[in-house]
Amino acid sequence: MTLSRRKKIVFALVAMALSFFGMIVLLLGADLIVHHRAERSAGLNRYGYRGPVVPRKQRGELRVVMLGGSTVFGYGVAWNESVPAYLEEKLQARLPRPVRVVNLGYNNEGAFSFVPNLEDFASLEYDVAVLYEGYNDLPGDRAPNRSVYRRNSAIFRTFGYFPILPLYLEEKARLMQFGDLNAAYDDLNPNAGGKSKVVFRPGLAQRTSAAALQAISSMTRALDGQIERTGVVQPPAMKESESTLGCTFPYVTYCESVAAAVRYARSHDKGVVVGAQPRSTGAGLAQDRHAIQRAMLASMLQRVFGQDARVVFADVSSAIDLRDVQATFDGMHLTPPANATVAAALADYVITVAPRQ
């Protein structure tokens, strides 16, 4: 039987649609598998935060979200050795109610990311927000940190699902091409301080496999781009002297970002803890800048929110000595015991602003 032209077109369109949706299902399945493997190690779960997916909020439960950069995320340690994980442990030991602390930190994000993340994770029904970031904003108004990592994904912005497959495939492809990534970096950067100078020369099979992985990664990113082509809307740059909060250059933008997050949280009846990280011991101007930033932040919070009992400034800058090699492995990111110390110091402040049962 000969098909008419119209039937052929319909058949072709149906076949294309089935192929497209079949590909989507396969990619989603692969992404879920990668998430399952990564969410308990150094990755994000399918909803875009670190650690296992939290269940539906229980009646009477205190739910806390902690926001910041890599010191909140827990760079270099397991998910259950991060500050948020220990904070949950400390709070649960002291409160006669269920407690969940969700880790919303992500590497390199600064105070500007606070409001977008509070908005994007409103479905967690949190009661308290802990805002804990200063290091990633040390350059200040000279180079404002506008990173909002998860909103780079249109899939996440649209559906609340965070795809991790592209990143995973790209890392696997680089590993096939270059072998030990640290060794490759050392070889290309002889002044980086590394001792290894191993050169990995991939064969045809490795190069072919790497190309295939990169092609699949590009395909998933293309699908992401088809959903929505708009990115995060950036606010206009501030003038050096512009501040309605009493802050001055170079931390006008930082103060404004923190204040905006506090206002957002309080407008939704959330308690807020604004934390000051351990004193920087970095070389050059880092120590001085961190001290200036911390002092300006404390003054702003007292001036603008001092009458609000559910907004507190948690100065834990003296809780850890970053010169202690037992407390940090790189002068910034903390070891598990040091993370537990910071969590214990924050717990009192969280209890202060938490809603009563």
Q: pLDDT digits over 266-286, tens only?
A: 999 999 999 999 998 876 668
pLDDT at 244 over 90: no
Average pLDDT over residues 104-133: 97
Domain ranges of the chain: 1-38+153-231, 62-148+239-353
Angle of CA points 155, 159, 162, to nearest 5°? 55
Top CATH class, 62-148+239-353:
alpha beta
The pTM for the full model equals 0.76
Burial of 201 (0-12, 13-18, 19+ CB in 10 A): exposed
Burial of 42 (0-12, 13-18, 19+ CB in 10 A): middle
Amino acid at 273: V
CA 352 to chain centre: 25
CA 20 to chain centre: 31
Among residues 134, 127, 76, 130, the alpha carbon closest in space to that of 103 is found at 130
CB 209 within 8 A of CB 176: yes
The pLDDT-based confidence of 190 (bands split at 50, 70, 90) is very low
Ranking 44-48, 110-114, 182-186, 304-308 by mean pLDDT, the lowest is 182-186
pLDDT reported for residue 113: 97
Amino acid at 309: A
Average pLDDT over residues 9-31: 53
CB 248 within 8 A of CB 296: yes
Say what percent of the chain tops pLDDT 90. 55
Per-residue b/e over 269-292, b at no fewer than 16 CB within 10 Å?
A: ebbbbbbbbbbbebeeeeeebbeb
